[in-house]
Chains A and B, each alone.
Chain A
Amino acid sequence: AQTVTQSQPEMSVQEAETVTLSCTYDTSENNYYLFWYKQPPSRQMILVIRQEAYKQQNATENRFSVNFQKAAKSFSLKISDSQLGDTAMYFCAFNTGGTASKLTFGTGTRLQVTL
């Protein structure tokens, strides 16, 4: 069974600073997809970034980037120039691909961006 672990229940960062959220996963599959989702107080799930396991290049989306270490099964999210609007719950998620494949979520990291 696949598992996703987020070891940081809560984190805090000052506005404009950089923060890294950790995620590790366990799978025996070789092809899979990794995601970071953001859930703000509105509770709407928002995709932050995704990474295909077969791609060696780390995905980036503006201020968000990942450090994907396939051998270590690690998938951390770096948020640069943190903004107050980044305050949210962040979930790391995993699936094995396929059009009916379900997502396995981590336990989440609550990020608070402060002035």
Chain B
Amino acid sequence: GAVVSQHPSRVICKSGTSVKIECRSLDFQATTMFWYRQFPKQSLMLMATSNEGSKATYEQGVEKDKFLINHASLTLSTLTVTSAHPEDSSFYICSAIFRGPGPFYGYTFGSGTRLTVV
């Protein structure tokens, strides 16, 4: 249980175009989702926290107009990289909080999207 499906797994786009990445919670309702960026051989850097029905909260230094996040339903959050440039090339990962029995909760992660901007 608690699976997050992330698509696409890989995408190549031309500089100046926009790319949308989707994350769907398959068997639970994801009130909160997180979007991370990971550079090669580095840790996950939190970009923003997405809450269903409200505006995303962006981390310091992340351009909200560049990385548009929409969390319109309890099962879908999207990240759109607008006017992509080569420096936006990276590995993007989504994560959602799921509730278990009692007070337990955990984090489940999508399989990631490798974005290459040419």
Contacts and interface: CB of A to CB of B under 8 A. Distances in A.
Interface majority SS on A: helix, strand, loop or mixed?
loop
Interface of B: 31-32, 34, 38, 41-44, 46, 49, 51, 91, 93, 95, 97, 99, 105-107, 109, 111-112
Given A43-B38, A108-B42, 14 more contacts: A42-B111, A43-B111, A44-B109, A44-B112, A45-B44, A45-B95, A47-B106, A50-B106, A100-B31, A102-B46, A103-B95, A106-B43, A107-B43, A110-B41
Interface residues of A, number: 17
Interface of A: 35, 42-45, 47, 50, 91, 99-100, 102-103, 105-108, 110
7 tightest A-B CB contacts, nearest first: A45-B109, A100-B32, A105-B43, A107-B43, A43-B112, A105-B44, A108-B43
26 contacts: A35-B107, A43-B91, A44-B112, A45-B44, A45-B93, A45-B109, A47-B106, A47-B107, A50-B106, A91-B44, A99-B31, A99-B32, A100-B31, A100-B32, A100-B49, A100-B51, A102-B46, A102-B49, A103-B34, A103-B107, A105-B43, A106-B43, A107-B42, A108-B42, A108-B43, A110-B41
